[in-house]
Amino acid sequence: MELRTLLAASVVLVLAAPFAALGQGDLVDGQVTKVDASAGKITIKHGPLKKFDMEAMTMVFRAADPAMLKAVKAGDKVKFDADKINGQFTVTKIQKAK
């Protein structure tokens, strides 16, 4: 029975590993140019957004969670992910670049 459980766990890990790596590789490099916490928006000068077929530019994004705006300030270099939610480009994840 233990061998069967170990084998099942191994299969799950092997199948999940590529997806975990994908999630990390999707983050885009950028630099925060403005944070407007009262409006729930952030302006980021970013590299290409491949999933939207966009070149590098500066854009205003909504923040999926207003609390994430407290973690960054203008001038910070960041890595972020964005999606189009209700027709608006929205930052769904952001972290300071190392």
DSSP conformation letters of 17-36:
HHHHHHHHHTPEEEEEEEEE
Contact between residue 23 and residue 50 where contact means Cβ atoms under 8 Å apart: no
What six digits make up the tokens of 44? 């980021």
26: exposed, middle or buried (Cβ count in 10 Å: 0-12, 13-18, 19+): middle
The architecture (CATH level 2) of 27-96 comes to: Beta Barrel (2.40)
Contact between residue 43 and residue 37 where contact means Cβ atoms under 8 Å apart: no
Using DSSP's 3-state secondary structure scheme, residue 86 falls into coil
Q: What percent of the chain has pLDDT over 70?
A: 74
The mean per-residue pLDDT over the stretch 16-26 comes to: 49
Q: What is the pLDDT of residues 57-87, one digit of tens each?
A: 999 999 999 999 999 999 999 999 999 999 9
What is the domain partition of the chain in residue ranges? 27-96
Say if pTM beats, i.e. exceeds, 0.85: no
